[in-house]
Amino acid sequence: MKNYPIIIENYPVALNPQKLKALDGNRFVIFNDLNSVPLYSNHSQKADVTMAYVCLRGHIRMNIDSKEYTITPGMMTVLLPDHYIQHLEVSKDFVGVFLSLSRTLTREIFPQLSVLFFFILNAKNTPCIHLKENELNLFMEYSTFLWKKITTEYSADSRQDILSGLLRALFYEINNIQHKHCMKNWGKSPKEKLFLQFVNELEQTLKTERNVSYYAKKLSVSSKHLSETVKEITGKPTGEWINYFVILEAKTLLLSSQKN
């Protein structure tokens, strides 16, 4: 729980009457009003974007993958594509700031597959985190700067490069916060070490090797043992993760080629 005051007036982006700014066909959206986006409703639905937001006042009560959470001031929530979300209650005095990224932009700002993997894993296991005061201020500083830059006149390419750089820096900070809160002592058990080895191997050879048996052989374990270990840690077997990243990589490359 937070033990520090939150003075909303210190964060003008949270009260900006424009409420929403979007870039490049909604690849990136920053907003401060839940009514600005169709994602939020009382019905359970599957998210199609990556979203990070903080609560500054009031509360949200919601289901994330059928588990209920109450988000209160000072908390950060990270939602991923394919998360099933349902809003149960939003207090009338709620104030927050939201950042939304498309699947492909998420992949672009995490060029290292291993970093993206753990960002996804942390968000799935612990989507809601109580932030320390300096962590909240960090999120809000980036959000304020992003809002300013998205409204500043640049060439299209310059704006894209600037915002991508800022988003990469912010989401690496978020990943670091997740790690400190969720995985401080992680990676010491034999199964966790095997999982880390799998992620490192996947990062190096995903473009050429997509069979579970290949990774099992490289790690000197059976395919069954590798899949069971990965599923125990992540909720998905090895093959599903390989397919997930292959498809994501293909979409990212396709979008990149279309831009060029």
Q: Are residues 206 and 174 in the same domain?
A: no
Residues 236 and 48: their CA atoms lie apart, in Å, by 19
Angle at CA 9, nearest 5°, toward 49 and 38?
Answer: 25
Beta bridge partners of 128: 77
pLDDT of 255: 62
**Of the residues 182, 204, 230, the one at which a domain ends:** 182
Q: Are the C-beta atoms of 187 and 196 separated by less than 8 Å?
A: yes
Question: Is the Cβ–Cβ distance between 51 and 128 less than 8 Å?
Answer: no
Question: Domain span at residue 62?
Answer: 8-112+126-182
Query: Number of folded domains in the chain?
Result: 2
Residue 121 in any domain: the answer is no
Q: Is residue 103 part of a domain?
A: yes
Find how far residue 54's CA is from the centre of its chain.
13
Instruction: Name residue, tokens 């612990």.
Output: 126
pLDDT at 185: 64
The three-point CA angle 124-200-78 to 5° equals: 20
Residue that terminates a domain, selected from 166, 182, 198: 182
Going residue by residue through the chain, which has 260 residues, state the pLDDT in tens, using 9 for 90 and above: 678 999 999 999 999 988 888 877 788 999 998 877 655 667 788 888 999 999 999 999 999 998 999 999 999 999 998 888 998 899 999 999 999 999 889 988 888 888 888 888 889 889 999 999 999 999 999 999 999 888 777 776 787 788 889 999 999 999 999 988 877 667 778 888 898 899 899 888 988 888 999 999 999 999 999 999 999 888 888 988 888 888 877 877 766 666 55
pTM value?
A: 0.85
Same domain, 41 and 93: yes
* 101 & 13 share domain: yes
Both 53 and 88 in a single domain? yes
- On whether both 172 and 236 belong to a single domain, the answer is no
Structure tokens belonging to residue 224: 């069954």
Q: 115 with 71: CB under 8 angstroms?
A: no
Domain membership flag for residue 2: no
Task: Tell me which DSSP letter residue 81 carries.
Answer: T
The predicted pLDDT at position 259 comes to 59
Instruction: For residues 248 and 167, state if they share a domain.
Output: no
Same domain, 156 and 202: no
In a 3-state reduction of DSSP, which class is residue 2?
coil
Residue 241 near residue 199 (C-beta atoms within 8 A): no
Structural contact between residues 182 and 122, judged by C-beta atoms closer than 8 angstroms: yes
The whole-angstrom separation of Cα 37 and Cα 113 is 29
Beta bridge partners of 142: none
